[in-house]
Amino acid sequence: MDTDVFLAWLAAAAAVIEANRDHLTQLDAAIGDADHGTNLARGFAAVTAAIEGAAPRPATPGALLTLTGSTLISKVGGASGPLYGVAFRRAGKALGAAATVDLPGLEQALEAALAGVQQLGAAREGDKTMVDALAPATRAFGKAIAEGAAADAALSALAEAAAAGAAATVSMQARKGRASYLGPRSVGHEDPGAASTALILAALRDAAAGAGARDAGR
Amino acid sequence: MKKLINSVDSVVTDALRGVAAAHPSLTVDVENKVITRAGGPTPGKVGLVSGGGSGHEPLHGGFVGYGMLDAACPGEVFTSPVPDQMLLATKAVSGGAGVLHIVKNYTGDVLNFQLAAELADDEDIEVASVVIDDDVAVQDSLYTAGRRGVGATVFVEKIAGALAEEGASLDAVAAVAREVNERSRSFGVALSSCIVPAAGKPTFELGDSEIELGIGIHGEPGRTRGPMRPASELAAVALDAIAADLPLDGELLVMVNGMGGTPLIELYVMYEEVARNIAARGGRIARNLVGNYITSLEMQGFSVTVCGLTDQLTRLWDAPVDTPALRWGR
């Protein structure tokens, strides 16, 4: 996967977050403070602007993700700004200066992102946070490539595990973030951070599939 | 949704322009969303910076001025500001004696201030942080993000600000800030939800005769929902919750705070009930504050904050203060 795939991913992520802006905000209204969709949409719009305005344009996937993370930290605020920001920055650093990314490289980047989120937010699986989507997705991706899956299958496993992980947060009681104030009343609602993580990872699958289709058509 | 705004996206910057127009004692960087005292940093004085989401006015910008904060960084509505803003504020108020960050205990505020403190350290500005967590409605346990920071923030900003004005060291100012936080507890009750401008509808729905007990300041639902009841009973609910954690005896500083949409006449009804209830428990309200100091947009409701005073805390509370929202003695 080259820089174009990652550019396509970030564009797709910005589009899907914008399209789900109200949905994410309503999820947040139920157990948080009704701003997750608004904040992330503002953040990814800023990412799009930062990429277009960067001189020189980020030449590698690593540089692109690092710029994405820094922009999210600077523009989003709340808890999701630092957490998504650190995730993208750590992933970008893990990819280094390579011009293209292979599947094991992407797995390492996902693990670095997960480690960064858990270090900053101190959340574990089961706490009803974005970790409940990112952790199982990273595991499913690793398992798929260990079993010799091709890129499209591994990325599908990633996206599906993230979606299943987000859905599983419905029955959890929140132990981190603003939802934890609700105690047992947080049960029965999907965690908005897990939901947005699933959307962003599905956008990665779709962007890579789109690039694969273009390559096949040449 | 009916709000006095031009557009949802420009609420915060439009309000900041208004703050700038109304208060020549403040310098407002509208683009970067930083409010500082006009006239720059005071050499040799510890700088006090606070910040948080907007929608809690007058907190924090209304408390910038002599005897209180040096700078405030307002975020978007109910969203923590970003590290860049906090770093700008920290640099703007650094008078060489260090800077205290006063942080309400919300995950976003804590994470962003933590990143800002690291950035300030890179620029060789000494920063201490105090995290405010006085809301007894949230259990402080491994299973929550910890108690929320609410009304005690006003007390901390006033008292730590007074000590800083006397020329105390960063360690001493941070220590008194922590002492006030540890001696303070709060509890809030909502009669209605607030409406976040970007969401356009109430964050939660309440029936005509329902109230939320144990609310925070962001329209997050409380711990429980119950029937509306007389002010005397609401005072008892709030003070029972506080008394479970803080002895309500001795000399006390008490704030009855409106959540933004509560008429002052009702706050005075609540204050009378709170004062009577505290007196019955053997406490003496030595100082008080009644009004809208830490709000949640247009939410109807109130919060009670109690701080156990010492002679020094009383002296610092009484010290002169000159800010848009709190002013006496000068």
CATH number at residue A147: 1.25.40.340
The C-alpha atoms of residue A32 and residue A25 are separated, in whole angstroms, by 9
Is the Cβ of A83 closer than 8 Å to some Cβ of chain B? yes
The pLDDT confidence band at residue B288, using thresholds 50, 70 and 90, is very high
Query: A185: which DSSP letter?
Result: G
The C-alpha atoms of residue B222 and residue B139 are separated, in whole angstroms, by 12
Is the Cβ of A82 closer than 8 Å to some Cβ of chain B? yes
Span(s) in chain B for CATH 3.30.1180.20? 185-308
| Partner residue facing B79 (CB), from A39, A74, A176 | A39
Give, in words, the CATH class of B12-183+318-328: alpha beta
Question: Across the interface, do B219 and A120 touch by the CB < 8 Å criterion?
Answer: no
**Which has the closest alpha carbon to B66: B92, B39, B33, B98?**
B39
Judge contact between A167 and A4, C-beta under 8 A. Answer: no
Is the per-residue pLDDT at B267 higher than 60?
yes
Judge contact between B44 and B15, C-beta under 8 A. Answer: no
Give the per-residue pLDDT at B221.
73
Q: Give the B window 253-312 contacts with A, CB below 8 Å.
A: none
The beta strands (E) that lie in B126-279 are given as 127-132, 184-190, 210-213, 224-227, 250-258
Report residue B115 as tokens.
């990143």
Coil, strand or helix at A97: coil
Q: What's the domain count of chain A? A: 1
Contacts of B84 in chain A (CB under 8 A): 74
Provide φ and ψ at B318, rounded to 5°.
-80, -15
Contacts of B218 in chain A (CB under 8 A): 32-33, 178
- Residue A39: left (phi > 0), alpha (psi -120 to 50), or beta? alpha
Is the Cβ of B76 closer than 8 Å to some Cβ of chain A? yes
Give the per-residue pLDDT at B295.
98
The pLDDT confidence band at residue B210, using thresholds 50, 70 and 90, is very high
Judge contact between B259 and B296, C-beta under 8 A. Answer: yes
Report residue A211 as tokens.
């690039």
- Residue A151: left (phi > 0), alpha (psi -120 to 50), or beta? alpha
Q: What are B211-252's pLDDT values in tens digits?
A: 999 998 988 777 789 999 999 999 999 999 999 999 999 999
How many other CB atoms are there within 10 angstroms of residue B30's CB atom?
15
Question: Across the interface, do A182 and B223 touch by the CB < 8 Å criterion?
Answer: yes
Tell me the angle at which helices B231-243 and B264-280 cross, rounded to the nearest 10 degrees.
Answer: 50
Question: Across the interface, do A35 and B76 touch by the CB < 8 Å criterion?
Answer: yes
The pLDDT confidence band at residue B154, using thresholds 50, 70 and 90, is very high
Name B73's bridge partners: B51
In the block, residue with structure tokens 């309200």: B285
Give the per-residue pLDDT at B142.
62
The vertex-A102 CA angle with A98 and A107, nearest 5°, equals 105
The C-alpha atoms of residue B236 and residue B231 are separated, in whole angstroms, by 9
Provide φ and ψ at B327, rounded to 5°.
-150, 120
Give the per-residue pLDDT at B224.
87
The vertex-A180 CA angle with A177 and A185, nearest 5°, equals 140
Question: Across the interface, do A176 and B107 touch by the CB < 8 Å criterion?
Answer: yes
The C-alpha atoms of residue B19 and residue B6 are separated, in whole angstroms, by 16
Selected catalytic residue, list B23, B56, B60, B101 = B56
Q: What is the mean pLDDT of residues B10-31?
A: 98
B131 class by beta-carbon count within 10 Å (0-12 exposed, 13-18 middle, 19+ buried)? buried
Is the Cβ of B136 closer than 8 Å to some Cβ of chain A? no
Question: Across the interface, do A181 and B108 touch by the CB < 8 Å criterion?
Answer: no
Domain span at residue A141 reads 3-217
Selected catalytic residue, list B23, B60, B101, B218 = B218
With CA atoms as reference, the chain A residue closest to B142 would be A175
C-alpha dihedral sign at B220, B223, B227, B230: negative
Is the Cβ of A175 closer than 8 Å to some Cβ of chain B? yes
Q: For chain A, how far is it from start to end, CA to CA, in angstroms?
A: 16
Judge contact between A39 and A77, C-beta under 8 A. Answer: yes
| Test the B interface: residue of A26, A178, A181, A185 with most B CBs within 10 Å | A181
Q: What is the mean pLDDT of residues B33-55?
A: 96
A45 class by beta-carbon count within 10 Å (0-12 exposed, 13-18 middle, 19+ buried)? middle
Give me the percent of chain B exceeding a pLDDT of 70. 99
Is the per-residue pLDDT at B140 higher than 80?
no
Is the Cβ of B106 closer than 8 Å to some Cβ of chain A? yes
Mean pLDDT per 10-residue section of chain A, whose length is 218 residues: 96 97 93 88 96 92 96 90 95 96 97 95 94 98 97 97 98 90 89 98 95 70
Residue B23 annotated in active site:
no
Report residue A147 as tokens.
């079993």
Judge contact between B59 and B153, C-beta under 8 A. Answer: yes
Q: Which residue has the higher pLDDT, B59 or A55?
A: B59
In the block, residue with structure tokens 């993208």: A88
Provide φ and ψ at B291, rounded to 5°.
155, -170
A84-89, long-range: CB < 8 A, 24+ apart: A84/A40, A84/A43, A84/A130, A86/A113, A86/A116, A86/A117, A86/A119, A86/A120, A87/A113, A87/A114, A87/A116, A87/A117, A87/A134, A88/A113, A89/A65, A89/A116
The CATH-assigned architecture of domain B185-308 is 2-Layer Sandwich (3.30)
Parallel, antiparallel, or unpaired for β B321-322 and B210-213?
unpaired
| Partner residue facing B199 (CB), from A29, A78, A178 | A29
Residue B60 annotated in active site:
no
| Partner residue facing B198 (CB), from A38, A76, A121 | A38
Is the Cβ of A34 closer than 8 Å to some Cβ of chain B? yes
pTM: 0.87
Q: What is the mean pLDDT of residues B166-191?
A: 98
